[in-house]
Structure formats: C-alpha cells, structure tokens
Structure 1
Amino acid sequence: MDFVLVHGTTQSPASWDRVAKLLAAAGHRALAVDLLTPEDLPVEGYAQHVRDQYDGERPVVVAHSGTGVLLPAIAEALGARSLVWVAAYIPDFAGGRCLRDEARALLEPDWIGVDPAAEPAKASEFLFHDCDPETERPALDSLRLFSPEVLATHPAGPAPEVPSTVIVPTRDRTLRPGWMRQAAKERLGVTAIEIDAGHCPHMSRPAEICGILTGRG
C-alpha cells in the first residue's frame, strides 16, 4: 500500500522520516511530500504540487496539524483510498468557516502567536515535550515554517467521500484534544483514535502511528 505523508505548518518532510522507514520495513511505500514552493499557491495549487511528486495510485493520505486544511483537496487530486488526520485541523465542512474563524476555539491559548521555528525552546515546550532526548534533536532539526495565507482563510468545501481516520494526541499542547475529538465525530462521523502523546506523535511515537496506519494499532 502507498502512503503519502503531508508535513504540518512547523515542520519539513523530514518529520515523517521515522514513520516512513517503519512503513517501508512493513512492505509499504511511503512518500513524504514537500509543500513548500517559491510562492504561495491556492489550495488547488498545493494539491497539484503534491500530485506532481507522486507517481502511484489510490494512496492513503496522511496530514499533520494545520495542513488538514489541504487534506481533502490533496486526497481528491491523488484519488486517495482514505484519509488520516494526525493532530490535525478538520475543516468546518457544513458551516464553511475557515481556520482563522475557529482559531480561538481550536488552539490552546498559550500556543497562539508562538513561532517554534524561530524559538527552539518553545518548540520543545509545545511540540516535542514528550520526545526522549534521542528523538528531540531530529525533531528540532525538522523545524520549518509553512504558513501560507490560504491555510488560515480557505473556506471549507464539501466533506470527503472516502473514509477518514482521526488520531488525537491526548497531551497536545497546541491543538485542543477535546476540539479534535468533537470535530472527528461531528464533521467526519468517526470516533477518534486517542494516543498518549504530544502534538507530534509521528516523532515521539512512530511505531504506534505506523501501527494505526497499517491497521495493527
């Protein structure tokens, strides 16, 4: 099975390295795509940018954090068989609100205004607090800001028609676990899978994430 792994707003594709290696060891193909471009694109442009990086068919598409905004469009462009939302924003498909409209309900107050890519200590506090010392160094090395205006302002379109899995880290210090849990139920009609981790479980708990992705978690 193919997995297309989409980095979040504060990390590069390297954030998926550990999960990708585990997926490959289990006999799957994993591609961590890069969303960064020389100039900001519309949502459809980022979806095509991912399409240009992937040469397979019907992958499982996995997105982290704020790139949940892009996940439905990317999945449609790739003809995805299913979607996985990892500590991710789930758009307001019925109401059409954008991420900016929901930010104060979604984000933990102490996280608002923090740029972890510029402040490694803040990254350790908010993103990687559950990482062991061996993991924290590559986690910090993966920091890179990706925050085009479209992520904040794009109004939600229709809900995806393919199945979704939602992974909620119960010790997330950036996105509210309760909000993600409720959004999974109300917006996607699924019960979230909860994991004892912070906002980046693909860094701190890669084997658990791999197990969920492959159906063994």
Structure 2
Amino acid sequence: MDFVLVHGTTQSPAGWDRVAKLLAAAGHRTIAVDLLTPRELPVEGYAQHARDQYDGERPVVVAHSGAGVLLPAIAEALDARALVWVAAYIPDFAGGRSLRDEARSVLEPDWIGVDPTADPAKASEFLFHDCDPETERLALDSLRLFDPAVLAAHPAGAAPEIPSTVIVPTRDRTLRPDWLRRAARERLGVTAIEIDAGHCPQMSRPAEICGILTGSRR
C-alpha cells in the first residue's frame, strides 16, 4: 500500500522519517511530500504540488496539524483511498468557517501566538514534551515554518466522501483534544482513535502511528 505523508506548519517532511521507515519495513511505499514553495499558492495549488511529487495510485493520505486544511484537496488530487488526520484540524464543512474563525475553540489558549521555530524551548514545551532526549533532538532538527495565509483563511468546502481515520493525542498542548474528538464525530462521522501522546506522535510514538495506519491497531 502507498502512504503519502503531509507535514504540518512547524515541521519539514523529516518529521515523518520514523513513521516512513517503519512503513517501509512492513512492505509499504511511502512519500513525505514537501509543501514549501517559493511563493504562496491557493489550496488547489498545494494539492497539485503534492500530486507532482507522487507517481503512484490511490494512496492513503496522512496529514498532521494545520495541513488538515489541505487534506481534502490533496486527497482528491491523488484519488486517495483513505484519509488519516493526525492531530490535524478538521475543517467546518457544514458551516464554512475557516481555521482563523475557529482558532479560539480549536487551539489551546497558551499556544496561540507562539512560533516554536523561533524558540526551541517553546517547541519542546508545546510540540515535543513527550519525547525522550534523542527523539527531542531529532524533532528540533525537523523544525521549519510553513504557514501560508491560506491555511488560516480558507473556508471549508464539502466534506470528503473518502473514509477517514482521526488520531487524537490526549496530551496535545496545541490543538485541543476535546475539540478534535467532537469534530471527528460531528464533521466526519467517525469515533477518534486516542493515543497517549503530545502534538507530534509521529515523532514520539511512531510505532503506534504505524500500527494504526496499517490496521494492526484500530
């Protein structure tokens, strides 16, 4: 099976390295796309940018954090067989509100206004607090800002018809776990899978994420 891994707003594709290695060892093909471009694009532009980096058919598309805004469009562009939201914002498909409109409901209050890429201590506090020292070092090396205006301002379109899995880290300090549980149920019609992790379980719990992706843990 093919997996397309989509980084969030504060990490490069290297944030997926541990998960990608485990998936490859299990016989799966993976590509961690890079959304960073010389100029900002509309949502459809980022979807095409992801499409240009993938040469397979019908992957599972996995998105982290703010990349949830882009996940439906990327999934459509790649003709995805399934979507996985890892601590990822789920758009307001019915109401059409943007992430900016919902920020105070979605994000933990202490996270709003923080730029972890400019302050390693803040990154450790909010993103990597559940990592062991070696993992934290690797995680800090993966820091990179990707925050085009479209992520905050894009109004949600129609809900995807592709099957979704939502992963909720219960110790997330950036995106509110209670909000994500509710959004999974109300916006996608699924019950979230909860894991004991912070906002970046692809770093701190890669084997558990891999198990969920491959169906060995449901």
* TM-score above 0.5, yes or no: yes
Residues in 2 aligned to 1:3 and 1:43: alpha-carbon distance in whole angstroms: 21
**Which residue is equivalent to 1:121?**
121
**Which residue is equivalent to 2:161?**
161
**Which residue is equivalent to 1:57?**
57
Describe the SS at the equivalent of 2:117.
coil
Superposition TM-score, scaled by structure 2 size: 0.99
**Which residue is equivalent to 1:187?**
187
Residues in 1 aligned to 2:201 and 2:36: alpha-carbon distance in whole angstroms: 22
Residues in 1 aligned to 2:108 and 2:98: alpha-carbon distance in whole angstroms: 17
Structure 2, unpaired ranges of 5+: none
Superposition TM-score, scaled by structure 1 size: 1.00
**Which residue is equivalent to 1:12?**
12
**Which residue is equivalent to 1:137?**
137
Q: What displacement does 1:68 show?
A: 0.1
Identity, % of aligned pairs? 88
Q: What displacement does 1:122 show?
A: 0.2
Q: What displacement does 1:64 show?
A: 0.1
Deviations 1:179-215 (A, max 9, x none): 0000000000000000000000000000000000000
**Which residue is equivalent to 1:67?**
67
Describe the SS at the equivalent of 2:124.
helix
Q: What displacement does 1:156 show?
A: 0.2
Q: What displacement does 1:134 show?
A: 1.2
- How many residues are treated as equivalent by the alignment? 217
Aligned partner letter, 2:159: A
* Structural mapping, 1:61-100, within 5 Å: 61-100=61-100
Aligned partner letter, 1:150: V
Describe the SS at the equivalent of 1:117.
helix
Aligned partner letter, 2:130: D
Residues in 2 aligned to 1:77 and 1:162: alpha-carbon distance in whole angstroms: 12
Residues in 2 aligned to 1:97 and 1:136: alpha-carbon distance in whole angstroms: 34
Residues in 2 aligned to 1:128 and 1:170: alpha-carbon distance in whole angstroms: 14
Structure 1, unpaired ranges of 5+: none
**Which residue is equivalent to 2:31?**
31
Describe the SS at the equivalent of 2:61.
strand
